[in-house]
């Protein structure tokens, strides 16, 4: 898929993935950050700044907002200035697998929906050295909400449909249940503090609704080119998949402490 088209489709929107202000605030509470002072936070894969803005306005902290795409950071800078938060947020154009931070220099690493770019385990191993002892990791990661067993409790979805399993096997083989993700946190030097799955509203209302509403304008901007139509079709497929199978997967928000 054409990367410049993906950036153009997503840049106008507050979020580049599922999540919400309420989710970020809930994770802040679970992490116990509200009473901390002078925090140094890195928001990795920050996009146009949805989580960075909430962190900056809620906490006594300076946030280094890291993203690979300068267009997203330009939009973040504009939004931070509009909210009088520009003094508390430093944009940094960098890859999240080649970070410039000194070892044990960060109090918090935050990353909503971006650790999959490295893989969950690879991200844990790569990012842990940058945290101070006792530092906080808060990440959201695609997570199965059900097991594969055909035995279910009342109200629980049944075994995963083969179509859905194939999709995620191809898109992100590391998708797993929360218990397995928490076990990997422990294996890689973290003590879990909390976990919660994102509700459907964090997908359908906060992310997909504004994206879908922009499809026609996006196609007009790009003169209905084959590449633009392919980009929309792929995103539409993703949206329809979630609408059909939302009982089976979501992002899980994982909060843990470096030990």
Q: Is residue 59 classed as helix, strand or coil in its secondary structure?
A: coil
pLDDT, average across residues 145-163: 69
Of the pLDDT bands very low, low, confident and very high (cuts 50, 70, 90), residue 159 is confident
Mean pLDDT of 158-183: 94
Q: Give 122-131 pLDDT, tens digit per residue.
A: 999 999 999 9
Segment 205-218, tens digit of pLDDT:
999 999 999 999 99
Report pLDDT for 151.
Answer: 43
The overall average pLDDT reported for the chain is: 95
Task: Quickly state the pLDDT bin for 147 (edges 50, 70, 90).
Answer: confident
- Phi/psi at 199 (5° precision): -75, 165
* pLDDT of amino acid 2: 87
Please give the DSSP secondary-structure letter assigned to residue 258.
E
Compute the average pLDDT of residues 168-176: 95
Q: Is the dihedral of CA 112, 233, 97, 95 positive or negative?
A: negative
Adjacent-strand bridge partners of 112: 140
Q: In the chain, what percentage of residues exceed pLDDT 70?
A: 96
Can you spell out the DSSP letters for 131-196? EEEEEEEEEEEEEESS-S-S---TTS--SPPHHHHHHHHHH-TT-EEHHHHHHHHHHTTEEEEEEE
Distance CA 97, CA 44 (A): 10
Domains of the chain: 18-201+249-258 (3.40.50.150)
For residue 150, what pLDDT is reported? 43
Residue 114: CB atoms within 10 A of its CB come to: 24
Average pLDDT over residues 127-142: 99
pLDDT value, residue 155: 52
For residue 153, pLDDT over 90 is answered with: no
Q: What is the mean pLDDT of residues 39-68?
A: 98
Partnered with residue 92 across adjacent β-strands are 66
For the segment 186-199, what is each residue's pLDDT rounded down to a tens digit?
999 999 999 999 99
């Amino acid at each position: 898929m054409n990367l410049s088209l993906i950036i153009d489709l997503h840049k106008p929107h507050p979020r580049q993935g599922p999540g919400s202000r309420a989710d970020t605030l809930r994770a802040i509470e679970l992490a116990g950050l509200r009473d901390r002072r002078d925090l140094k936070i890195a928001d990795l894969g920050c996009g146009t700044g949805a989580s960075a803005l909430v962190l900056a306005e809620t906490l006594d902290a300076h946030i280094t907002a890291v993203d690979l795409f300068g267009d997203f950071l330009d939009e973040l800078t504009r939004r931070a200035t509009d909210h009088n938060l520009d003094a508390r947020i430093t944009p940094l154009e960098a890859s999240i697998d080649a970070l410039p931070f000194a070892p044990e220099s960060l109090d918090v690493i935050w990353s909503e929906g971006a650790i999959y770019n490295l893989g969950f385990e690879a991200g844990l191993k790569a990012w842990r050295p940058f945290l101070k002892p006792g530092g906080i990791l808060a990440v959201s990661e695609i997570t199965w909400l059900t097991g594969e067993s055909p035995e279910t409790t009342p109200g629980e979805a049944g075994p995963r449909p083969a179509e859905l399993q194939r999709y995620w096997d191809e898109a992100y083989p590391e998708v797993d249940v929360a218990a397995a993700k928490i076990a990997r946190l422990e294996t890689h030097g973290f003590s879990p503090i909390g976990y919660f799955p994102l509700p459907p509203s964090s997908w359908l209302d906060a992310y997909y609704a504004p994206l879908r509403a922009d499809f026609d304008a996006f196609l007009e901007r790009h003169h209905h080119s084959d590449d633009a139509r392919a980009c929309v079709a792929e995103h539409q497929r993703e949206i329809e998949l979630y609408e059909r199978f939302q009982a089976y997967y979501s992002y899980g928000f994982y909060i843990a402490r470096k030990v």
